[in-house]
Structure 1
Amino acid sequence: MTVTPSPRDSIDVVVESKRELADGVAGLRLRRPDGAPLPAWEPGAHIDVELPGDLVRQFSLCGDPRDATAYDIAVRREVDGRGGSAAVHNVVQPGDALRISAPRNHFAFDDADRYLFVAGGIGITPILPMIAAAEARGAEWNLAYCGRSRRSMAFLAELQRYGDRVALHPSDEGRRLDVAAFLGEPALGAAVYCCGPAGLLDAALDASNAWPPGALRIERFEPIEATGPETSFEVELDSTGEVLEVPEGRTILEVVREAGVDIDSSCEEGTCGTCETVVLEGEPDHRDAVLSELERELGETMMICVSRCRGRRLVLDL
């Protein structure tokens, strides 16, 4: 399990530069004001960014992990979004001061004999440093990159140097991706990394049913629609033994905060991993978009902003 640093370990940065990476995609380079090194990170990591308007949003790091002087993020303008992308595109400018969290990683890049990468739209951001790492290891890899059009697909120039290992699938050219055909037959020792819109991730899940458990790793930018019951249950706080009732329609996070537990959170929709909490007893009803299928089966942690209980009681390390 990847350790999740507290967002209270916030870092003051300045926007060194802002540039257009593709139609509707803005790239920001962030540095400390004094030029001091930033915390180390590995491919797949993301940071929280505090934006104008009291907004906090999560963005994948897409630069070079070996460069401790700067973080690079890319942000697609979401017309029907909640205001975060609009703040980046319309308000944030070079020279602005921002605060960010230390990097967190629930999409860790593990060793494998071969890698298959599937990216849709802005989902290319966590994949880009993974490709560089695979290349540095001398590993075999291929990328299928989907987008509305070439003009909307960021980092095409950077990807050109990899030749035919990169297959572009712009929808406006009629080159829609057949995910099952791209993945091919299940292969021991191979890892599939997929990031993008829900439809692409669902197609990857369907296409990888026959693959070994854990071969597919996905990262979602959108919350998962809850389908389980909203019945009440109890949560016991291990530190004090206090038992709290979590009623229908309320979250564990809300209830424990009302009881005076100081716990960090960010997205509060199950996509960032900030509120991850250790489960000591009981069976979580996972409703987040962060944990892998294996992590869900183990039930060792849960995201208390959205997930619930399959039984009557959970004992949490709070």
Structure 2
Amino acid sequence: MAIDMPAADAPSASRPAAANPSSVTDLLVAAKTPVSDGVVTLTLARPDGGRLPDWAPGAHIDLVLPNGLTRQYSLCGDRWDARTYRIGVLREPAGRGGSAFVHEELETGDLAGLGGPRNNFRLAPAERYLFVAGGIGITPLLPMIVQAEMLGVEWRLLYGGRTRSSMAFLDELAPYGDKVTVCPEDEHGLLELDAWLPETPDGMKVYCCGPGPLLDAVERRCAAWPPGCLRTERFVAADQDMTSADTSFEVELRRSGRTLSVARDQSLLQALGDAGVPVLSSCRQGLCGTCETTVLDGVPDHRDSLLDETERAAGDCMFVCVSRSNSPRLVLDL
């Protein structure tokens, strides 16, 4: 998965590297390979050939590009290869510079910064899996398929795209035979979700990644399912159904011994930054998970696109770039 920020977010998206340079490691672009119409993969390695941090299916990295932009990409290579990462990058005609730079200017031998990896889309144990991918949303699902196959767990993949030529990694999926159903829209129309998603999951977990309309349709179809049976990962933030207007609130920073006021027209992340409290952030849309912060007391007003309903109800963490407070005071582990 790749997240290409809107223009208004582009300046702030480059701040993690400047704000916390020790969190970013230089990587070498070891290979750049076209894999379908509009999609290239990058193979990334340490310049000294050393070991990279371990990761698990569903993980993504921050890629700090030489032009200063930071974008998030799902890891889609071999998790057992300790010395390279692979990501897939879709050329977004309506994007704001990240994918265009990768496709048009980034070359083999160039350096890019690494943040992470982080994982907000972990593969949980299940009796069986259904993976649903739309376009470049196939990237986080590839390692999950490998994991399920290795464990001997039953799985199926429903993979949609605009055209067959635009759908990446079909060659890698071909050996799985009829476990994989490929449905280009120009050949088959939209994915027939009703035929794939039963009324009750019966031990099945569904992992879905793709464009917003696909995820919205899957979420509607699975709305009556128990929590945790459906996990989604989005390219852009979901529309939020705000039940109340923004209000000011106080935030206590337990470790720092400070109390700050957050104005109604100010984000919590902005208030922390204005007070000189460093919090690493990237997407500023509640998508990437970089700014996750532990909540010690109070009731967060979750506005992210990451937590499920059970995690939101627990109230023990929040993403400070977009989320606010439903109580007059929050206490954070900062």
TM-score between the two structures when normalised by the length of structure 2: 0.90
Please say if 1:106 is aligned against 2:120.
Answer: yes
Find 1:254's aligned residue among 270, 276, 286: 270
The residue number in structure 1 matching 2:130 is 116
Distance 1:53 1:226 in 2: 32
Q: Gapped runs of 5+ residues in structure 2?
A: 1-19
The 8 Å contact of residues 196 and 220 in structure 1, kept in 2 or not, is answered as yes
Distance 2:297 2:202 in 1: 34
The 8 Å contact of residues 299 and 327 in structure 2, kept in 1 or not, is answered as yes
Find 2:294's aligned residue among 259, 266, 278: 278
Distance 1:10 1:69 in 2: 17
Distance 2:143 2:99 in 1: 22
SS at match of 1:305: coil
The residue number in structure 1 matching 2:324 is 308
Per-residue CA deviations over 1:152-183 (Å, capped at 9, x if unaligned) read: 10001111111111111211113321223211
Which deviates more, 215-224 or 170-179?
Answer: 170-179
Percent identical = 54
Per-residue CA deviations over 1:185-231 (Å, capped at 9, x if unaligned) read: 32332211001111111111111123222100111121233442222
The residue number in structure 1 matching 2:283 is 267
The 8 Å contact of residues 149 and 171 in structure 1, kept in 2 or not, is answered as yes
Per-residue CA deviations over 1:254-281 (Å, capped at 9, x if unaligned) read: 1011112111111111111011001111
Find 2:59's aligned residue among 42, 45, 62: 45
- Across the aligned residues of Structure 1 and Structure 2, the Cα RMSD in angstroms comes to 1.4
After superposition, where does 1:33-112 map in structure 2 within 5 Å?
Answer: 33-112=47-126
Distance 1:225 1:84 in 2: 23
Amino acid at match of 1:278: T
Deviation at 1:104, TM superposition (A): 0.5
SS at match of 2:118: coil
Deviation at 1:7, TM superposition (A): 7.9
After superposition, where does 1:1-318 map in structure 2 within 5 Å?
Answer: 8-228=22-242, 229-318=245-334
Deviation at 1:73, TM superposition (A): 0.2
Distance 2:129 2:212 in 1: 21
Distance 2:142 2:211 in 1: 17
Deviation at 1:234, TM superposition (A): 1.5
Amino acid at match of 2:64: E
Amino acid at match of 1:143: L
Amino acid at match of 1:112: A
The residue number in structure 2 matching 1:3 is none
Per-residue CA deviations over 1:5-61 (Å, capped at 9, x if unaligned) read: x98432221111101111111110001111111111000000000013210000000
The 8 Å contact of residues 197 and 220 in structure 1, kept in 2 or not, is answered as yes
The 8 Å contact of residues 7 and 48 in structure 1, kept in 2 or not, is answered as no
TM-score between the two structures when normalised by the length of structure 1: 0.95
The 8 Å contact of residues 8 and 101 in structure 1, kept in 2 or not, is answered as no
Which deviates more, 236-245 or 45-54?
Answer: 236-245
Distance 1:226 1:241 in 2: 33
Q: Gapped runs of 5+ residues in structure 1?
A: 1-5
Distance 1:118 1:308 in 2: 32
The 8 Å contact of residues 11 and 101 in structure 1, kept in 2 or not, is answered as yes
